[in-house]
Amino acid sequence: MATATHSAIRGVHMTQATSNQLRPDLQKVVETITGLRQLATSTGYVTFKEQKVILDRLSSEDKALVGQALAQTEQRHQ
């Protein structure tokens, strides 16, 4: 039961952290990757390597936060 509670609390924390409360450096990562994805969509230019280089510099926790923020961004644009 304690594990479920901890997971629920962590889930709330992670959700709150991604909704406009990212550190400025992580917000910049989200903006850059979003821009690269838009470039790929509009021109067909492949940007996977550039995205990987940016994400490789992050810790696992930061990657998770950026991933959640990107998912929220994509949901808003659909």
pLDDT tens digits along 45-57: 999 999 999 999 9
User: Which DSSP string do the residues of the chain spell out, in sequence order?
Assistant: -HHHHHHHHHHHHHHHHHTT---HHHHHHHHHHHHHHHHHHHH----HHHHHHHHHTS-HHHHHHHHHHHHHHHHHH-
Confidence of residue 76 (pLDDT cuts 50, 70, 90): confident
Mean pLDDT of 14-41: 84
| Average pLDDT in the chain | 82
Do 5 and 59 meet the contact criterion of CB atoms below 8 Å apart?
Answer: no
Into how many domains does the chain fold? Answer: 1
Mean pLDDT of 10-16: 43
Mean pLDDT of 5-18: 42
Instruction: Give the range of the structural domain holding residue 29, as residue numbers without chain letter.
Output: 2-77
| Residues contacting residue 18 through CB under 8 Å, at least 6 positions apart | 65, 68, 69, 72
